[in-house]
Amino acid sequence: MKRSRTKTILFQPWKWQGAIAGDPTKAGFVHLVKASAAVDDAPIFCWFRWCLPTYNQNGPSCVGQAWANWLELMLRRYAEEDPFKPGDQISGEMIWKRGREMFCKGNLDGGLELPQGFEAMRDLGLIPPESQLLAISPDWVSVGYALLSTPLVQGHHIHQGWETPDPKSGCIDHSYAPTAADGYHATLRIGRLVQEGTKFNVNLNSWGQAWGWHGLYIMTEAEDEEGRMPDGPYTANLPAGWTSWEGWKKGVIQC
């Protein structure tokens, strides 16, 4: 049985927590003025301030793109100075190709599992070799506390609604019954919000700034539970002093 259509909300981060959309013809960054607010059961936090504009994903490389976005946000938040020039990004396609070399004998016809993308990123030297994959419990409270310090790489069923998110809010219509035949798509969890008692997750996709709301999308917590992958979400446990690691620079490309 299909569920009733999700009510489209007007997602306006610039009003919600002081966020404003940057000029997409320039850097296209999304800035956050006020970083956090509290709710009863878990913290509300969003990574708008550190979001980089994402380039349009090439084919099945979503796991590589999600880990590249994860590393970009971590560097922009924790490095002493923003290490990226306008237009710079880490190549998710590079991560995906290395993963296919490592786990699929170089066959580029297909995607990766989320942990395989992490292994490829580490094998490339984009993060220190001591880095460890860390799985986060997917419940609302655990994810909320994890988001205080890290974005999360995640996977969801993909279907027709992903092609037409609401342009004002990025809200995806998930009024469907997901099946394994839908396949999964990897994106980056960057935050969440509560509106009129409904919990929403805020995510960064890799389909370009013209998609969703400047490349961002939202879904309800209930929709997340229904459509998410059985494993994850994931982050990486990085060693002390990792911000001085410069291996990530070899993955930088201009978009």
Give residue limits of the domains in the chain.
13-241
Can you give the pTM of this predicted structure? 0.85
Q: At what angle do helices 62-78 and 92-103 cross, to 10 degrees?
A: 130
Going by C-alpha positions, the residue among 192, 206, 195 that lies closest to residue 155 is 206
**How confident is the model at residue 15, as a pLDDT?**
38
Going by C-alpha positions, the residue among 136, 121, 112, 122 that lies closest to residue 59 is 112
In this structure, are strands 216-220 and 198-204 parallel, antiparallel, or unpaired? antiparallel
Let me know how many helices (H) and strands (E) the chain has, helices first: 6, 12
Cα–Cα distances in Å, from 204 out to 14, 189, 201?
17, 6, 10
Rounded CA separation 69/72 (Å): 5
**How confident is the model at residue 6, as a pLDDT?**
37
Q: Torsions phi, psi of 235, nearest 5?
A: -140, -175
**How confident is the model at residue 7, as a pLDDT?**
40
User: Within a 10 A sphere around the Cβ of 115, how many other Cβ atoms?
Assistant: 17
CATH of domain 13-241: 3.90.70.10
Cβ–Cβ < 8 Å for 133, 118: yes
Q: Which two tokens stand for residue 31?
A: 């800035």
Spell out the per-residue pLDDT of the chain, length 255, in tens: 333 333 444 444 443 332 333 333 332 223 322 333 444 566 778 888 788 767 778 789 999 999 999 999 999 999 998 899 888 899 999 999 999 999 999 999 899 999 999 999 999 999 999 999 999 999 888 998 899 999 999 999 887 788 888 877 788 877 766 666 677 899 999 998 777 777 889 999 998 888 888 788 888 888 888 889 989 999 999 999 999 999 999 999 987
Secondary structure element (H or E) that encloses residue 97, with its range: helix 92-103
**How confident is the model at residue 208, as a pLDDT?**
85
**How confident is the model at residue 41, as a pLDDT?**
62
Please enumerate in sequence order all residues whose Cβ is within 8 A of that of 187, keeping only pairs 6 or more positions apart, or say none: 62, 66, 153, 154, 155, 156, 203, 204, 205, 206, 217
Rounded CA separation 76/59 (Å): 26
**How confident is the model at residue 12, as a pLDDT?**
45
Q: Where are the beta strands (DSSP E) in the chain?
A: 20-21, 30-31, 36-38, 43-45, 88-90, 132-135, 152-157, 184-195, 198-204, 216-220, 234-237, 252-254
Rounded CA separation 74/45 (Å): 15
Q: Which residue has the tokens 């580490």?
A: 122
